[in-house]
Structure 1
Amino acid sequence: MITQQQLQLYVVQISKQYFNRPFNHSARFNKRLKTTGGRYLLRTHDLEFNPQMANLTEFEGIVKHELVHYHLHLQQKGFQHNDAAFKQLLIAVGGSRYAPRLSQAPRHLWRYRCENDHQIMRQRRFSANRYRCGQCGAQIFFVGEVDNR
């Protein structure tokens, strides 16, 4: 696992190497980020990264992506995803357009069954007496949780 100090040095190094500009703010991990690789904070100009993606091979592309936001915003150019300047600089430095998908299985799978034995699997549990089967309209019964480990 990479530390906060190593992350800061890594971002500074990538900024000098690919952008020929210094990175003068802080880069840190934010464990609350779940689906995104990182984010650029407009008010403080800091960068936050998903610690789950730090060990992936695509992490350099994620850092470049956030640095594109950073440098374009400081230059007062179009720094948003749909701006032409952003797209051009992202391609020039070889940054990734999207964060890689982390394969996470749902925590729970709930099994339901109707009177006609149609199986219904859901990630969220619901009150079976309030709904009917979508295939036949019969009453639904809760069967139990499926072990998905």
Structure 2
Amino acid sequence: MDDRELQELVENLSLRYFQRSFNHQASFNSRLQTTGGRYLLTSHNIEINKKYLEQLGKNELIGIIKHELCHYHLHLEGGGYKHGDADFKQLLKEVDAPRHCATLPNRPKRKSSMKLYIYACKSCNQLYKRKRSINTKRYVCGRCGGKLKKVIEGS
């Protein structure tokens, strides 16, 4: 499937499920990493992650397009187009669109054993867990202002 076929699919789905035309551009964006698609507020265009079509098939792609069309039509009509808005949730139900897209099977998993640095305040013993190392000469305790010391080095 190329951008022209995607454009036709988006226009057809818009008419079928929303009874409104899609008058902007739909295209594949290979730079999308963590999402199936996105609706651009300024240009009103829709970008789709082609990996979802390749790895999960056309049904998943259709779900992503319907989700993005919910953002599109609600935004243009002045309704609540954000994920937390009641209008958006209601329209998702009406057109049977997913709230979130599935996880790609070929996506690299995060390390379960993430490095963790633990710091303690020398005065009040408040503990701070951090994923990144911090400069203890530059930062102080948020509770009492005391100096910090590294308790556990990231492993």
Q: Give TM-score, length-normalised by structure 1.
A: 0.70
CA deviation profile, 1:6-44 (whole Å, cap 9, x unmatched): 000000000000000000000001101111010000000
Q: CA deviation at 1:105?
A: 3.3
CA deviation profile, 1:23-73 (whole Å, cap 9, x unmatched): 000000110111101000000000000010124231111000000000000
How well do the aligned residues superpose, as a CA RMSD in angstroms? 2.7
Which structure 1 residue ranges, 5 or more long, are not aligned? 110-120, 124-131, 135-139, 141-149
Where does residue 47 of structure 1 map in the other structure?
46
1-structure distance, mates of 2:24, 2:6:
12
Please state if 1:96 is matched with 2:98. yes
CA deviation profile, 1:83-134 (whole Å, cap 9, x unmatched): 0000000100011111110122359x8xxxxxxxxxxx779xxxxxxxx788
Give the number of equivalent residue pairs: 119
Where does residue 81 of structure 1 map in the other structure?
83
Which structure 2 residue ranges, 5 or more long, are not aligned? 116-151
What secondary structure does 1:39 align onto?
Answer: strand
Q: Calculate percent identity across the aligned residue pairs.
A: 46
Where does residue 147 of structure 1 map in the other structure?
none
2-structure distance, mates of 1:51, 1:87:
25
